[in-house]
Every structure is written in structure tokens, then in C-alpha cells.
Amino acid sequence: MALDPATVRRIATLARIRMDDAEVTTLAGELNTILGWIEQLNEVDISNVDPLTGAAHMALKMREDVVTDGGYPAAVLYNAPDRIGDFFAVPKVVE
Amino acid sequence: MPAVTELTDLTIAQGRDGLRAREFTAVDLTLAHLHAIEALNPRLNAYLSVGHAQSMEQARAADVALAEGDTRPLLGIPLAIKDLFCTTGVRTTAGSKILMPFVPPYESTVTANLLRDGAVFLGKTNMDEFAMGSSNMSSYYGPVENPWKRRQDPSAVLVPGGSSGGSAAAVAARLAMGATGTDTGGSIRQPASFCGLVGVKPTYGRCSRWGVVAFASSLDHPGPFARTVRDSAILLGSMSGHDPKDSTSADVPVPDFEAACQQSIKGLRIGVPKEYRSDGMPGEIETLWRQGVGWLREAGAEIVDVSLPHTKYGLATYYIIAPAEASSNLARYDGVRFGLRADGEDLRDLYERTRAEGFGAEVRRRIMIGTYVLSAGYYDAYYLRAQKVRALILRDFTQVFEKVDALLTPTAPSAAFAQGEKMDDPITMYLNDLFTVPADLAGVPAASVPCGLDTDGLPLGLQVMARPFDEETMFAVAATLERAAGFSALPTLRAGS
């Protein structure tokens, strides 16, 4: 299934990456090449196979659902590009 | 005190013994490496940042501890850290522009373990952006030069492999005694093979991922680079261990990996999988592989021809699963809480401009693939199918490990290539990881050991894979290969050369 420029633009929107027309055209070509190569997986018989989500050779541990960390806003906000007091600041989102 | 050049040539085991015997100090050892970095790094670009003051402080503290008889395993040993590991108060970029301003307020578990054991950190090493690449060419901070040169064409600048290219170049050029790396599709083993080093990707869950900038969480494996198998075992011993902060960290005992390097492989069954060949693979890699099989047979192992029939689907599976996880993991870079921000008209515009400006071409490409294969209508066709093929790849390993104790294969289908080569289309570059990706998908431990040179005089590695959590067998086989190969060639560019 070939990707057309409109689909590439839609994926870019979903991925929140701004893209000009030239890049959309280039990417459409590259993504089609990669997806075409990936099509080889269609020849594998996957009937009666359960999907594998990860490589962990053990059961995941359960833990108590309690707060074990926190209480240092200065460290959390240390890398903020913009902040007001103890809050991250962004452009106005509500009119 | 030995000459400065000799200090940078020491293995970690030799450095540890020399420090304990007070033949030299940790300050001597650290200074020797800092001087070597000063001389060679402007050319190699292996380090993105060097922490002179902090390194010297750690070295002085190590000398005080050594004088008191402290025997921590890495006390005073200078190491390089891939710039994917968060280090408290030290800029951590992941090779990306988007993290250029990022200074973590916390320490990754793996680096904290190394510091606990007394290591000295020299600096943070260059890498492909977000660990996405096999050449280090996708770093925002420029490529890394491989210290090895082609005999016939010494002016060609070769890549160190990737994504942990800076770590590999630093250890090969004697700018560090060892280094950390991460391996998601081969990012430790392929650069180890390209730079004549030992590189180890342990079992998934052996080393905590906490504080390691995430690429593909079900595939990311921290691990060490070193110049000998024993050194890599010493490093892995320190890096390993259960960490409650990583839900996939394995709560299993950490064996004595260093002791495992001395174990005999007599009577072990070693599998040789017929699928580890590729079109255009140089004959000398095939020859080296056969030679490796011979060495193991001579050491008393039984050689068994085996088959891992889904091997050839590993790469395509990887290029669905890794981008899918990456597109999700990298959603956090939105210009709000940390990292680069580009101004926008509104919040959405801010996100889109920040990510367009902050991510390089390869990262954008993989986020796009990942977003597409997870999107409505395509999830089953791509992502779910890939997860099922991944299950079959794991089943191949599970079944083969009922018959054999370890597997021997080539590490990479070529030696180091030149900057600019294999850049025509993304898939040519992806093919580098053909032999390394399956162990990441299955989570089994794998090591690359330098075993010979090609006709250009470039190093070639062989790969040893073993059962989950049986790194001891992997180290025993790797050390046997190392002894038999007697690899003693040196890169052209190195400290003191």
C-alpha cells in the first residue's frame, strides 16, 4: 500500500512534526521504500501465534500503588524552557 | 611510574592491579587519559563533553580510598559514558539538538552503579541521534572518525559504527579504559566489531534502563565496551543488578562474570546457524567464522549445525517495532518540560516547530514510520504482525537452545565503511544490523569479540550468543575465542601514536 503525500501529511500531523511540501515528497518516497521492504513479513505464517510485546524472560513484578518519590519542584522544573513560579509555561491555550 | 602512553594501554584488570599495588595513582591514570583526549579528540570527535574538574575530583577521591585499602572493583578506573545515560549535573544530549540544553537532575542506575564501584568518568561520548543509526553519521554534533585505517587507503575516514560510535572510538584509541553503550539493534556489537573491541549486550533486564534516554523500551539494552573479554566482564558485573525503578529489571543474582571468563568450554555444544549469511558478505568473514568454529572445536566444544529459520525476518520486524516504540517514547519532546523549544503561534504550532527543528532526518523518518504502523487501520497489518513474527524469532532461539549451549556467528556483514558510503537509501544502512537484531528481539545475551583483520587491515568480530541470563557461558566462549584469535593489532590513531 503506497503512501501518498496527503497520508504523509496526516501522519506528520499525528506525530506533531511540521513539514514543508518538499519534505513531504521526499519522505513519501523513503517511507514507501521502507514499507515495501517490510512487506516481506507477509510471507510468514503467523496463524496461531500470540504477539510478543517484549523480551523480558520473567513475569513483571507488582508493587504497592503508593507514592514513593517526589516533592522537589526545583529539580523537576530545572530544565523547563519557560516557567512561571512552580509551573511550566506555554502559549495561551484557552481564549 | 610507567610512561603516560603505557598507562593508556593498560587493560582495566591491569589498571586495577597497578592501582592496588600503588605502582601509579588514579590521578596519574586519569591525567594520562585526559591528555590523550586533548590530543586526539579534536580529530576523532568521540567525546561530546569532557569533565576535567569532576574527573580529577573522582580520581583524587579514589586515591584516598585506595590508600585506605578500599577494594571496590572499579576504583580509580577512567571510563567513557555514552551520552544517552543521564548523569547528574552533566549535559546529556542523546546526540540530538532537541536535548542540547538538557542537564539531568538525576543519575541513571547503570552510571550510579559504576560510580558506587569507584569509577572515574572522563566524559560523555558521541552517538547517533537517539541511538538511531549504524555509523554515528546521524549525530547532531558531527560524525566520529574510526581510529582504524585501511592499509591501502589510509586517508579514507571510516565510520566507527553506531549508534555507540563515540564510546567505541574512545576505547579503541585509548581515550578511555572502557565505556558504556546501549544496544537496541546492534549498537554495541556492530561498533565493537568495527573498532576491534569486545562489546557485550547482556540479557534483557540484566542492566537497568532507568535514566537511559529511551529509544525502543522493549529492545534497549545497556552494556559495556572494553579491549578484553575479562574487562567487559568486570564492567558488566558493576553495571548489572536489580533496580525497582525499572519494571523490566530482572530480580536475579549477578554471577561472577570475571570468573566465568576462566571456565573451560570442554563439552559445551556450540551451534552454527546456517542463516547468518548475506548476499555480498565478503568471503573473509565466512573464512573467519569457519576459523572461529575450528578454535572452539579445538578447545573441546562440540559443533552442531543449527537453523534459526526466521532470522531473515528480524530486520523488517525490528523496523516496525523499534520505530513504533520510538514514536511513542519521543512524544515527550514537545518543548514544554525540558529540551529545546521553538516559539509558535499556539501550543500545537509550538509542538510542531519544536519537533521539526529539534529532530534530525533519521529520527523524523522513524517517528513517521512508527506513527503510521500504530495508526488506526494499519496497526494489525504492521505492528501486530511484527509482534507475532517476533514471537517466532524468540521461538527459534528457545528451540535451538534446547540443543546447544551457545551460538557462534559473524557480528556484522562487513568491516567498517567510509563516511558517505551506504548513505544512498536507509535500507542499505539498516542491513548492517542483520546479524545483531535477532538477539535484541529475543533478549538473549550476545557479545562481539575481535577475531581477525580483513585484507584492508580492518578488524572483524565474531558474535557469541547464549541462553537468557547465561552470560557466564557467553563469557567462557568469548574468552576462548579471544585466546585462540590472539588479536593484537592496533588502530592507527591512538594515544601516544
pLDDT digits (tens, 9 = 90+) for B295-306: 999 999 999 999
Q: What are phi and psi of B223, to 5 degrees?
A: -170, 175
Strand B178-183 with B198-201, pairing: unpaired
- List the one residue out of B304, B295, B360 whose CA is nearest residue B330: B360
Which of the residues A21, A25, A41, A94 would you substitute to probe the B interface, choosing the one with the greatest number of B C-beta atoms within 10 Å?
A41
Task: Measure the CA–CA gap between A25 and A30, rounded to whole angstroms.
Answer: 9
Q: What is the mean pLDDT of chain B?
A: 96
Counting one residue from A and one from B, how many pairs have CB atoms under 8 Å apart? 170
Scan residues 5-34 of A and list those with Cβ closer than 8 Å to B. Answer: 7-8, 11-12, 14-19, 27, 30-31, 33-34
Q: Average pLDDT for residues B172-194, to the nearest whole number?
A: 98
Distance from CA of A46 to the nearest CA of B (A): 6
b vs e for B257-285, b when ≥16 Cβ sit within 10 Å of the residue's Cβ? bbebbeeebeebebbbbebbbeeebbebb
Which helix (H) or strand (E) segment is B222 a member of? strand B221-226
Q: Average pLDDT for residues B147-164, to the nearest whole number?
A: 97
Task: Measure the CA–CA gap between B145 and B136, rounded to whole angstroms.
Answer: 9
Please tell me the predicted confidence (pLDDT) of residue B279.
83
In this model, does residue B12 exceed pLDDT 60?
yes
Q: Average pLDDT for residues B194-218, to the nearest whole number?
A: 98
Q: Average pLDDT for residues B119-146, to the nearest whole number?
A: 98
Q: Average pLDDT for residues B331-350, to the nearest whole number?
A: 96
Q: Average pLDDT for residues B306-315, to the nearest whole number?
A: 97
In this model, does residue B262 exceed pLDDT 70?
yes
The chain A residue lying nearest B315, using CA atoms, is A38
Please tell me the predicted confidence (pLDDT) of residue B424.
75
Strand B221-226 with B198-201, pairing: antiparallel
Residue B307 annotated in active site: no
Quickly name the fold that domain A5-41 has: Histone, subunit A (1.10.20)
pLDDT, one tens digit per residue, over B431-451 is 889 999 999 999 999 999 999
b vs e for B472-485, b when ≥16 Cβ sit within 10 Å of the residue's Cβ? bbbbbbbbbbbebb
Residue contact A15–B317, C-beta within 8 A: no
Distances (CA, A) of B118 to B63, B71, B307: 10, 9, 44
- List the one residue out of B246, B247, B110 whose CA is nearest residue B182: B110
Largest CA-CA distance found in chain A, in angstroms, rounded: 57
Write out chain A's pLDDT in tens, 95 residues.
589 999 999 999 999 999 999 999 999 999 999 999 999 999 999 999 999 998 888 888 888 999 988 999 999 999 999 999 999 999 888 76
pLDDT, one tens digit per residue, over B29-67 is 999 999 999 999 999 999 999 999 999 999 999 999 999
Annotated domain spans of chain A: 5-41
- Structural contact between residues B471 and B257, judged by C-beta atoms closer than 8 angstroms: yes
The residues, ordered by sequence, that sit 6+ positions from B155 with a Cβ below 8 Å of its Cβ are: none
Q: Among A15, A18, A63, whose Cβ lies nearest the Cβ of B368?
A: A15
Q: Average pLDDT for residues B152-178, to the nearest whole number?
A: 97
Please tell me the predicted confidence (pLDDT) of residue A1.
58
Residue contact A60–B248, C-beta within 8 A: yes
Scan residues 399-428 of B and list those with Cβ closer than 8 Å to A. Answer: 425-427
3-state secondary structure of B188: coil
Q: Average pLDDT for residues B215-224, to the nearest whole number?
A: 98
Residue contact A53–B355, C-beta within 8 A: no
The amino acid at B116 = R
Task: Measure the CA–CA gap between B342 and B34, rounded to whole angstroms.
Answer: 36
Residue contact A46–B351, C-beta within 8 A: no
Please tell me the predicted confidence (pLDDT) of residue A63.
85
Instruction: Compute how many other C-beta atoms are within 10 angstroms of the C-beta atom of residue B467.
Output: 21
